[in-house]
Structure 1
Amino acid sequence: MQQAPIPTIEPSNPNVLRWDDIGLTLIHEFITKGEEAAMIEAFHARDPAKEGKRRISQHFGHHFDYTTFGASETHFTPVPPYITDFLPRLPIQSHLPDQFTVQYYPAGSGIPPHVDTHSMFAEALYSLSFGSAVAMQFRMSGPNDARKMRLPKRSAQNEKNHTESPAATINNNANAPGDDAIPTPDEGQQLRSWELVLPARSLLLMTGPARYGYTHAIRPRKTDVIDGQTVPREGRYSITMRSVRRRDEIGCDCAYPGVCDARIREEMALLAASRGEDDASLQE
């Protein structure tokens, strides 16, 4: 694991940290402690019977569709005020998110490395962390990730059960490592990777390389090292926020074709045409 790159601190607001060459922005104390407490209360009021040691997911706006990795056309839940109230404070106001996945993670749980779907959602990807700090791993995707993206996808139900940020996951084949496994770098290749601590009440914005070319993950463990101190993890909540692409907007021309779902579909279609097959058969 490499040392995290040094951010640029915004002179007018020391809570804003930027890694412009990567496309990351982290805003400390984006919400207040009072807002955080209200969010947690509202979250559990909606699913009181599910409290405990299991992961809980809630969807607002057009629900994420775990079969297409896009947004559902038929399942919609109104966005609650505890989300709409902070939308005017998001850094990019020109394309506000309209699809929200709220998740609770028991202490010690992790998420597998993944790149969120390119074609179905616009560039800006937000993640609001509250309840507990956590270290998130960023790793430049490589040939091994591209290979795994082209393997048959695991069942939609399995994706739903383990994915924090519904996505085109890297470990997406039936024989892949367990949900919390972090793959080693490709043989003979030193992929750039580091961990970034996401404090409680912080907002992470991913654009550019961080959005399209890096995997992000959380290692399953009971503690994190924060400012040189070993800190026990507690229950953590996150809100992943995306802008849905519709009709002619769907697609992607990013610089990372290896992990781009739009390019992979194009490859599969060309391969099917060359073989005189239905391209859907290549994903079975």
Structure 2
Amino acid sequence: MLMSRETAPESDNDSLFGEGEGTTSDQPAGILSPARRRIPPNVKVEGLYFDPDVCLPESVALDLLENIKAKDYFRGGTVNQLMLFERSYDLVSSDGVGLSQAELAQSNLRGESAAVASSGEMASSSTTLPPFLVDLLSVLSDILRPHIPESTSDLLFPDTAGQSGRRKPARQAILNLYRPGEGITPHVDLLKRFGDGIIIVSLGSGTVMQLAPVASPPSGSSLNPEKESVDLWLEPRSILVLEKEARYGWTHGIPARKGDWVENDMMLSEDDDKAIWVERGVRVSITLRWLLPGAEIVGGADEDSEMSDHHHAQSASTM
């Protein structure tokens, strides 16, 4: 059961972002259960949408990595995070950069340096997101709409045409760089900073994302902390959507290790291995989420408590 092994696909991802670490990893002696390639039938979480078959085209994924490489967002691997923001009348600063000091204070979620896009890198249209991210949103809308509820589509991709008087929320995009052995502590995205509806896109390498119900749901909530947790294998080009219970009542995190046990989807008989060991390569994630009104205000009454109440934490140490 524990003998199969799958190496990370050959690519030039390491050269995109710096030297990095290799993908060599000692295979652990045993496992409790492998990560699932699909959401198990017994895990019923409102607002959790994931299907490995609903993914980005390979050409789109390659273009995204090439754009990130061309702009050197990770500065040769010396930073691991970049935050970009759509232009909003409430959020945009006097010099035209859609970035607030409150967001800068939040930028170092994984305990390392965060890069900030300059005004020269912003698109000149009605959005401050670079053109390749604007294109990504269009592709995601086309891919996801047939597979998620209409209300979820409207939340993630609002059509503001003809809705006079309604301001479109400001969207934030976070690019994160993960080398083999790196992870992020399980957390719920800040409740008073970010709205409902989160999209996570995986590029370059797969990883396991651990999803678990929060230990103490908010007061008055109907969320059930006894629900079973799940480890999902996020393949390269995969798309994960979190809203409602999945966004507010479940933590998500990535264990710090150089590889993962994943269920064997090629098992043809009981004699075949039920799990395979998959070594991690360099992974880039793109997370898209909404800023709440007032999220740009620095030093708000709830800012300090909000930053301490949630489990956005440093990169977990290499294992």
**TM-score scaled to structure 2, two decimals?**
0.53
- 1:67 and 1:27, CA in 2 relative to 1: closer, same or farther beyond 3 A? same
The answer to whether the aligner puts 1:98 opposite 2:158 as a matched pair is: no
- TM-superposed CA distance for 1:136, in Å, is 0.4
* 1:214 to partner: Cα distance: 1.1
Tell me the distance in 2 between the aligned counterparts of 1:37 and 1:44. Answer: 10
Instruction: Provide the C-alpha distance between the structure 1 equivalents of 2:235 and 2:129, rounded to a whole number of angstroms.
Output: 24
Match status 1:32 vs 2:79 = no
Change (3 A) 1:5 1:208: farther
User: Which residue does 2:284 correspond to in 1?
Assistant: 237
Structure 2 counterparts to residues 32-181 of structure 1, below 5 A:
32-47=57-72, 50-52=75-77, 55-61=79-85, 62-63=98-99, 65-67=103-105, 77=122, 78-88=128-138, 89-90=140-141, 91=144, 92-95=152-155, 96=157, 98-143=171-216
Q: How many angstroms does 1:39 deviate by?
A: 1.1
Over 3 Å counting, the alpha-carbon distance change for 1:48 and 1:207 in structure 2 is: closer
Deviation at 1:63, TM superposition (A): 4.2
Aligned pair 1:204/2:264, yes or no? no
Per-residue CA distance 1:133-188 (angstroms, 9 max, x = gap): 11100111114x99xxxxxxxxxxxxxxxxxxxxxxxxxxxxxxxxxxxxxxxxxx
Contact 1:113 1:215 in 2 (8 A): yes
Distance change (3 Å), C-alpha of 1:80 and 1:30: farther
Q: Report the identity percentage.
A: 25
Offset from partner CA, 1:193-222 (integer Å, 9 cap, x none)? 221111110110001221001111111111
Give the total of aligned pairs.
Answer: 198
The residue number in structure 1 matching 2:25 is: none
- Structure 1 equivalent of residue 257 of structure 2: 221
Shift of the 19–60 alpha-carbon distance from structure 1 to 2, 3 Å rule, reads: farther
- Of 209-218 and 87-96, more deviation after overlay is shown by 87-96
Structure 1 contact 107–235 (Cα < 8 Å) conserved: yes
Name 2:6's counterpart in structure 1: none
Secondary structure of 1:231's aligned partner: strand
In structure 1, C-alpha distance between the alignment counterparts of 2:38 and 2:74, rounded to whole Å: 43
Bigger Cα Rg:
2
8 Å Cα contact 1:6-1:19 kept in structure 2: no
Distance 2:294 2:60 in 1: 36
- Please state how far the C-alpha of 1:66 moved relative to its aligned partner: 4.5
- CA contact under 8 A between 2:51 and 2:239: conserved in structure 1? yes
Answer whether contact 1:63 1:99 (CA < 8 A) is retained.
no
Mapped partners of 1:107, 1:196: distance in 2: 17
Checking the alignment, whether the CA contact within 8 Å between 1:129 and 1:236 is kept in structure 2 is yes
Q: How far does residue 5 in structure 1 lie from its aligned partner after superposition?
A: 11
Bigger strand share: 1
Cα shift at 1:83 = 1.6
Paired with 2:247 and 2:63, the residues of 1 have a C-alpha distance of 29
Q: Is the 8 A contact 1:139 1:193 kept in 2?
A: yes
Q: What residue is the counterpart of 2:14 in the other structure?
A: none
Separation in 2, partners of 1:32, 1:237: 16
Task: Give the unaligned 5+ runs of structure 1.
Answer: 10-17, 70-74, 147-188, 251-260, 269-284
